[in-house]
Amino acid sequence: MEDCVVSGYDIPKGTRLLVNLWKIHRDPNIWSDPCEFKPERFLTNQKDIDLKGNHFELLPFGTGRRMCPGVYFALQVLPLALANVIQQFVINRTSNEPIDMSESSGLTTSKATPLEVLLAPRLSHQMYHVGS
pTM confidence score: 0.52
CB-neighbour burial class of residue 25 (10 A; exposed 0-12, middle 13-18, buried 19+): middle
Domain boundaries of the chain, sorted by first residue: 1-67, 69-132
CA 28 to chain centre: 19
Q: Are 89 and 122 in contact (CB under 8 A)?
A: yes
- Residue 35 annotated as part of some ligand binding site: no
pLDDT per residue rounded down to tens, the chain (132 residues) = 899 998 888 999 999 888 787 787 788 887 888 888 887 877 777 777 777 667 666 667 777 777 788 888 888 999 999 999 999 999 999 999 998 888 887 767 788 899 999 999 888 877 777 665
pLDDT given at position 32? 83
